[in-house]
Structure formats: C-alpha cells, structure tokens
C-alpha cells in the first residue's frame, strides 16, 4: 500500500510514521514539504506520488488562537481538507481525515455517536466541521475519524504542558467541569492503521478516543501522581480544581465530549489495547 501522509511532524503524524507496517510505502509530508492550503502543490504532489491512500494528519489545532486567526483556521481545516479530498478523488485514492469532539456543543450528556448532530461552540470546531462536510461531499471514499484530547510524547499537548508547568509552579489551577477522554496519539494511529488493513473501506464518520473519561483536573492529578514516581518534585504540586467560568480563555469549549467508540471498535478485527498514561510519562521523564 502506498500512503501519502500530511502533517507528518505533528503528534498523530509522528505516531503514524512510527507504526506503519514496514512493507507499506510512505510519503511523509510536513508543513514545509506540503502546505495543504496550497491547492496546486497538493494536486502536483498527489499526481506525482499517486498514492492508494491519503491520510490527513495536518490541522490548525490552536483552539484559542483560532478565535482570532479565523481565516487561517478555515484555510487549513476546511480548504486544506477539501484540497486533499478532491485530489484523492481525482486519482481514485481513499481519503482518511481526522476531526474532533469539538464539533459538538456538549449539551447532550451521553456518549456521542456518529449520528448525533454537531453544533460547534468555537471557531476551531466550526472549521473542523466545515472540513468534514466539504470532504464528505467532495469524495465518496472518505473516512473521518473524530477524536478528543490528544496527547503523546511528541509535539505540544496537555501532558507536556503539565509536566513543564508543574516544575515551575506549586499550584496548578485546572478546570473540573469539562469532561472528555484523553487519547494517546499512538492508539489513534493504531486504530487508523487497523481501518486501513480492513478488506473494504468504511466510509463516513467514525469516533475513536481513549477509554477513560475524566475532567482536565482529574487528568492533571493523574499526570502528577505518575510523574511523582519518577521525580519527587512533582509530589509538591497541588491541583486546584476550578470551574470553566473562573478560567480565562478565548474559545468556548464543550463541557461534555465523550465519544462513543463502538462503531469503530466493531469494525476492526482486533480490539485496540489502550496504552497506559504511565508509559508516556515514563518516556517523557526518562
């Protein structure tokens, strides 16, 4: 199988590169080698490499900055996604795209399945929803995997921020009234690879997230408890649970973002064995 991967230096892109089967041919493009907003370059690259599958791991992921950088968020998450979907259609390739639980408003407090109506609260969610709709309309052989709260040993994420700030300040104020499922990018990569190994290509929307639901404050607490086993200094960190209303940030976020994984889990032959958070903390602190 020949795969063209975009956003190859992001969290998911890096985890995919580390996990692709050796026999697959991978053309890994980062934002320098392939800017997905550059329509002509996207078409040239796709035509040149003629992949069987295009995986889009590129995205504008700065949720708060998107509130003011609206054009950039839409250029990458909507137009860039459309460029890739049209290019995939032109050469008869599958298109695998990744989206977010932030397309939902969080008002329905039950695990969110693929049939539930989206209603994003912020620009990032709106731009990702636009990308979903454009891709699904442009190319029938599109699979979109929505995920949530992605972390890994690579790139920028909540776990790395907590580990850094925990050594700088003894009191961490973290919100307790937003609930989601932290997702290890390696597990998400594994789920995507298993979808690619199926004999047919499931089309449309699928949900995949980690298997433990928690608030950001709970997540921070778990991070510091595990980190304290590696470095005594983390024992002194106090997590102060606060309400969203008491935490200033530009973008509104859904208070509930638990994705129901069951459709994807039923499709793949082997169930995903979720990676414990402790493995990632170990990697980051060793």
Closest CA relative to residue 33, chosen from 43, 15, 45, 25: 45
Residue 80 or 186 having the CB closest to ligand NAP: 80
Rounded to a whole number of angstroms, the minimum distance from the CB of residue 35 to ligand NAP is 4
- Residue 83, C-beta contacts closer than 8 angstroms, at least 6 positions apart: 36, 37, 38, 39, 42, 43
Rounded to a whole number of angstroms, the minimum distance from the CB of residue 92 to ligand NAP is 23
Rounded to a whole number of angstroms, the minimum distance from the CB of residue 151 to ligand NAP is 7
Residue 192 or 226 having the CB closest to ligand NAP: 192
Rounded to a whole number of angstroms, the minimum distance from the CB of residue 148 to ligand NAP is 5
Rounded to a whole number of angstroms, the minimum distance from the CB of residue 200 to ligand NAP is 24
How far is the CA of 32 from the CAs of 6, 35, 37, 243, in angstroms? 10, 6, 12, 39
Instruction: Identify whether 124 is a catalytic site residue.
Output: yes
User: From the candidates 60, 124, 184, 256, which is the catalytic residue?
Assistant: 124
Residue 49 or 228 having the CB closest to ligand NAP: 49
Residue 148 or 261 having the CB closest to ligand NAP: 148
Residue nearest to ligand NAP (CB): 10
Q: Which residues bind ligand NAP (CB under 6 A)?
A: 6-7, 9-13, 31, 34-37, 57-61, 76, 80, 98, 100, 128, 147-150, 155, 185
Rounded to a whole number of angstroms, the minimum distance from the CB of residue 134 to ligand NAP is 14
Residue 213 or 230 having the CB closest to ligand NAP: 213
Residue 158 or 230 having the CB closest to ligand NAP: 158
Q: Please give the Cα distance from 182 to 274 (Å, whole number).
A: 11
- Residue 255, C-beta contacts closer than 8 angstroms, at least 6 positions apart: 106, 177, 178, 179, 244
| Active site (catalytic) residues | 124
């Amino acid at each position: 199988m020949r795969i063209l991967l975009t956003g190859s230096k992001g969290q998911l892109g890096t985890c995919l590169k580390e996990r692709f089967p050796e026999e697959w041919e991978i053309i890994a493009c980062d934002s320098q080698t392939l800017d997905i907003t550059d329509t002509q370059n996207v078409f040239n690259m796709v035509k040149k490499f003629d992949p069987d599958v295009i995986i889009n791991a590129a995205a504008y992921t700065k949720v708060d900055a998107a509130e003011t950088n609206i054009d950039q968020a839409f250029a990458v998450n909507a137009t860039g996604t459309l460029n890739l979907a049209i290019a995939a259609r032109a050469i008869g390739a599958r298109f695998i795209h990744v989206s977010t639980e932030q397309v939902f408003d969080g008002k329905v407090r039950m695990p969110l399945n693929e049939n539930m109506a989206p209603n994003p609260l912020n620009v990032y969610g709106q731009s990702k929803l636009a990308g979903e709709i454009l891709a699904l309309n442009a190319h029938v052989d599109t699979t979109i995997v929505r995920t949530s709260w992605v972390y890994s040993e690579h790139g920028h994420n909540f776990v790395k921020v907590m580990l850094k700030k925990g050594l700088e300040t003894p009191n961490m104020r973290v919100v307790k009234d937003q609930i989601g499922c932290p997702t290890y990018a390696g597990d998400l990569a594994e789920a995507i690879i298993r979808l690619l190994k199926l004999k047919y290509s499931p089309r449309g929307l699928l949900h995949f997230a980690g298997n433990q639901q928690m608030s950001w404050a709970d997540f921070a607490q778990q991070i510091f408890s595990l980190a304290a086993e590696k470095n005594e200094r983390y024992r002194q960190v106090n997590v102060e649970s606060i309400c969203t209303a008491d935490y200033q940030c530009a973008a509104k976020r859904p208070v509930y973002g638990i994705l129901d994984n069951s459709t994807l889990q039923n499709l793949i032959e082997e169930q995903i064995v979720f990676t414990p958070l402790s493995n990632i903390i170990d990697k980051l602190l060793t």
